[in-house]
Structure 1
Amino acid sequence: MSLKAIASALGLSVTTVSRALNGYDDVAEETRQRIQQEARRRGYRPNAVARRLKTGRTNAVGLLFPVTPLPFNDISFVEMMGAIAQSLARADVDLLIIADDTHDDHRGMQRMLRTKCVDALIVAHTARHDSRLIKLQQLAFPFLALGRSELDSPYAWFDFDNYNGPALAVTHYADRGLQRFAWLGSHHDQTFVDQRRQGFLDTLAQRGLAQDACWQVDPTRREGYRLTRQLLAQARRPQVVMADCNMLGDGAAIALREAGFITGSQRIELVVYDGLPADSVISDPVTSIVQATRPDVGQQVAEMVLRLIQGEDVNSLQVLWQPELKLP
């Protein structure tokens, strides 16, 4: 199906049809919608190579994730990645998954920049001083950070208020008279990890409470299980156990279930960021710090990166979403 057939059916010039389908902004919105509707009806698919030559765009976005920690162990990250891909696909933009390793000078990112096979990068799992973002800023390459970093110039970012999530949970249970809190957290150098731990510690301090334990370990089920077993062996068991990711939370839930502390009169409250994973063997309800549904996140991130590609000012592409506390 050719552009000429679409143009003839609508009584428009081939140039107008071509510019509308290739994203130029000099076509009236009403006309653009008519053209897109007719193209969809006829099953028209533009030639990707020709589009790139005309517009200089690849119609692809890269999602840059660190090799360590392996994010595919995090069910929430995988679901979010799928939601972003689906949302971008509705705009005929592909999502490329790019592994990146700090120990090899970010070769994955360097390859994307050298080959120019993406129009922008989504950078996941940001660090407080993120060398990837610094490099991208120096090169003036469009990027959207999933998480905030400390940079000298403004940049586009999407983030959750990670500090406020644990603060909500500590406040809720402290108001109920509970005083002994334990924290199971990741040891990785990532901004959201620091923010969650600091929200926990600061809120305890504001309430005049001291943490029973504040562990920083590999974010795995095994570690969540092992450390919770240690906590339960103490003479004064914690009244609340909080986990900063669902893998640690799932391990903690298994240990509490085995020991008979996840329900009943001796219940120890368990708070898990993002809730227990979908494949958890634990069916007992736990308290969750809920950030948003994955489709909502995917749509938001996709919309922001598309606006970034269109050249929108990065100062208008900075979004902070608030968490909610979901009780059992």
Structure 2
Amino acid sequence: MQEDGPIGREREQVTIKDLSAALGLSITTISRALNGYSDVSAKTRERVQQTALEMGYTPNRNAQRLVTQKSHSIGWIKGDGSQHFVDPHFVEVFAGVLREVKQYDYDVVFASGAEKEVVSLYQRYVNDQSVDGFIVELPQPNDARIDYLLSTGLPFVVHGREGRSDQYAWVDIDNFGLFETLTRVLLGAGHKQIAFINGDEHYSFAVERRRGAEAAFQQMGLSSGLTTYNAVHPMVHAGFQLTQKALENPDITAIIYSSAVMAVEGQAAIEASNRTVGDDLEIATMDDELRHVDLTQLEGRISFVRAPLNDSGHALVRQLMKRVQNKSAPTGELIPGRFKLRPNLPAELVPDQFIVE
């Protein structure tokens, strides 16, 4: 039996012109609808995208770049310090980013280098126009990466904030407010000597958390009583040693952890000290809802403030794409925190802007 046409010839690729003919819309409208521009109505975008799916349309990236002057890629450049890539906090955010970019038909270009070379890596990607914007993580006070990116005018979003957060898009939690509240709750329960096992204060998030805890003491008219112990980023393997050090002070009756990873690791040190969680030692921790960290043993025994890092990953992409697609003014987004306190703690001290579970 003879087939029409050349044997084995593949079906011709569906083009934007084909979609235009099928829908009776201009090529420009089709193109902008496929790229998610807000000047095309949601109803039209949905109709175009559904028809594209039904007809088997796949975008030609090279053609898109010529027409839109966009690469359809976003960049993430990370220092390649020890253990940075196995940090569960990073993994959780990155997973959220990878899931969200699919909604925009974008790719993530990932690069790493020595800390002193990171700015030059940004320069390389800016100069060859290979990405449409950047995700910047773990800002430091007066961050050199932000200095450079502000000078380029290229869209970027920061996971966290430093002093110039009114000039760029960001996604963050209320580090100051959450740890001020957590400390005030423990003070309200009668704990006057509190150990704060914090992250690395080279980074803005850890500075803000310590400042929040200090502010709670000041509000209660207490000039001392908070002892801070700092981990080195990425806060893995520090929980046991820092807990052990904190419990050398017998007057410590409560510990606040900056990460549930450290809270879990600290349990062995607490058991070795003959202290009892929930009896002569109160524990509270930040819980980023890391799916690979099992908190089952701590549920009901300690208090949590929760804000999922995976949600931050999704939000980072949304904020960046607003800048890339619509060239809108930079805005920030706070991921809400939720408190899960032990019953003996004064939940009424948690302000209304936070959820108490």
Q: TM-score range by the shorter chain?
A: 0.7 to 0.9
Q: Per-residue deviation at 1:199?
A: 0.7
Does 1:245 pair with 2:284? no
Partner of 2:184: 171
Deviates more, 1:192-201 or 1:219-228: 219-228
Partner of 1:308: 323
Partner of 2:200: 187
Contact between 1:253 and 1:262, CA under 8 Å: does it hold in 2?
no
Opposite residue 149 of structure 1, the aligned amino acid is: E
Opposite residue 140 of structure 1, the aligned amino acid is: G
Alignment counterpart, residue 126 of structure 1, candidates 121, 136, 139: 139
Alignment counterpart, residue 314 of structure 2, candidates 280, 288, 299: 299
Gaps of 5+ in 1: none
TM-score for the superposition, normalised by structure 1: 0.87
1:240-265, CA deviations, whole angstroms, 9 ceiling, x for partnerless residues?
A: 11122233323223322444535453
Opposite residue 298 of structure 2, the aligned amino acid is: D
Does 1:46 pair with 2:62? no
How many residues are matched?
Answer: 324
RMSD: 2.7
Contact between 1:167 and 1:199, CA under 8 Å: does it hold in 2?
yes
Structure with max Cα Rg: 2
Q: 1:196 to 1:19 in 2, by over 3 A?
A: closer
Does 1:326 pair with 2:357? no
Alignment counterpart, residue 111 of structure 2, candidates 89, 93, 98: 98
Partner of 1:225: 240
Partner of 2:156: 143
State how far apart, in whole Å, the 2-side matches of 1:9 and 1:110 are. 43
1:150-207, CA deviations, whole angstroms, 9 ceiling, x for partnerless residues?
A: 2397222222110111111111111111221011123341111100011111212322
Does 1:74 pair with 2:87? yes
- Determine what percentage of the aligned residue pairs are the same residue: 25
Does 1:287 pair with 2:303? yes
Does 1:204 pair with 2:217? yes
User: Partner of 1:163: helix, strand, or coil?
Assistant: helix
Partner of 1:87: 100
Q: 1:108 to 1:326 in 2, by over 3 A?
A: farther
Q: 1:72 to 1:242 in 2, by over 3 A?
A: farther
Q: 1:19 to 1:251 in 2, by over 3 A?
A: closer
Q: 1:295 to 1:282 in 2, by over 3 A?
A: closer
State how far apart, in whole Å, the 2-side matches of 1:238 and 1:21 are. 59
Gaps of 5+ in 2: 1-12, 343-357
Q: 1:321 to 1:17 in 2, by over 3 A?
A: closer
Please show how residues 5-24 of structure 1 align to structure 2 within 5 Å.
5-14=18-27, 16-23=29-36
Contact between 1:249 and 1:276, CA under 8 Å: does it hold in 2?
no
Q: Per-residue deviation at 1:305?
A: 0.8
Partner of 1:57: 70
State how far apart, in whole Å, the 2-side matches of 1:141 and 1:158 are. 17
Opposite residue 241 of structure 1, the aligned amino acid is: I
Q: Per-residue deviation at 1:50?
A: 1.0
TM-score for the superposition, normalised by structure 2: 0.81
Contact between 2:141 and 2:163, CA under 8 Å: does it hold in 1?
yes
